[in-house]
Structure 1
């Protein structure tokens, strides 16, 4: 079909207006706009090591809370902006390797893992063995990956402080008996933070090196509820940041 000359002259302007209508800073869809399940952890401030975890779901409308809130702990030094699905934030601390802070922001959820051969969850599950390590060595080409020492070689995991079978390598530690990968720093930028999980806490109220920890029943309920087809996301924010960003990021009300 031939376009009339006057309309053709207007088309560049119309295309520019359409581009502006979906430019950043408008009500454009967020990278997690297709999420139908959301795990929300809130803390009282950047330096708080304790928080509350809530679960939400939606079906084309507003977020609806599911179940009861549960206490969790985060990094021993609180939280800091991580690298995930959200836009970069300059106002506040930034996550770094070894800083004792949990990454804040919006993140995809990865594989569930644990000591058993299987777990009661619809999420993809990886049974951890004695040779499985998460690499937290900044200079390693395997940084922020869970690897099998039998495949990559013993030298590749020699400096890692994250054996995934802590019961075998860390005096019977049960914290990784059940867990879930939080996809912080998916590009594996050196020094930006690695091996971020949701996992069991060692004792009630004890903070972590940067993960989110909780009681066994809370973890079991979370894993049973999550559905990969619902594209679940994990959100961790201080309360003040949640209030500031809730509308722009289409998050549940504080």
Structure 2
């Protein structure tokens, strides 16, 4: 996969996508809203089993209490954690459909550097052109199509 201003080129198709409200960054920081430039890789896939079927046999269901740590000073920074978890975090089982299908990336993972940013995912967008907090976001049918094809290790060039 490769990001361009016209969308992500993946598996012979161009998929419209949005990036972070902070644009692209060579020096990603937690909370800056930027999408980090560089070569990243798909590391996993999560999905909401109460809303969609598994997009791949290796995808993991998002269950109640699953969170993602964005607490840069915590030992579990930029990792999936389970509630209860007091440090800052993002809820993976959201009320909206943005995380119904999520491709995880290796940005600042598995050994997270404090403050370099967390939770750079590929997920559904709110609407075309609406920026993310640093992720890549796609139309619902496109994120499903992508998740059906992008196995762990698939490169993502931004």
Q: TM-score, length-normalised on structure 2?
A: 0.91
Counterparts of 1:209-248 in structure 2, within 5 Å, are 209-228=133-152, 231-236=153-158
Equivalent in the alignment of 1:129: 63
* Structure 1 unaligned regions, length at least 5: 1-38, 44-50, 57-65, 82-93, 168-172, 237-254
> Do structure 1's residue 163 and structure 2's residue 125 form an aligned pair?
no
Report the alpha carbon displacement of residue 202 of structure 1 after superposing the two structures with TM: 1.3
Deviations 1:161-205 (A, max 9, x none): 4100112xxxxx110001100110112011000011000011221
DSSP-derived class of the 1:222 partner: helix
The answer (yes or no) to whether the contact 2:44–2:151 under 8 Å persists in 1 is: no
Alignment correspondent of 1:99: 32
- Structure 2 match to 1:181: 104
Match of 1:108 among 30, 36, 41: 41
SS in 2 for 1:166: coil
Once residues 107 and 70 of structure 1 are traced to their aligned partners in structure 2, the CA distance between those partners, rounded to angstroms, is 18
* Partner-residue secondary structure (3-state), 1:119: coil
Shift of 1:226: 2.3
Which protein shows a greater Rg? 1
Q: Distance in 2 between matches of 1:192 and 1:226?
A: 25
Query: Which residue in 2 is equivalent to 1:76?
Result: 21
- Aligned-residue Cα RMSD (Å) equals 1.6
Which one has a larger percent helix, Structure 1 or Structure 2?
A: 1
Answer yes or no: is the 8 Å Cα contact 1:175–1:202 preserved in 2. yes
CA distance in 1, matches of 2:93, 2:103: 14
- Tell me if 1:205 matches 2:140: no
Structure of greater relative contact order (alpha carbons < 8 Å, 6+ residues apart): 2
Question: Are residues 1:194 and 2:118 paired?
Answer: yes
Gaps of 5+ in 2: none
TM-score, with structure 1 as normaliser: 0.58
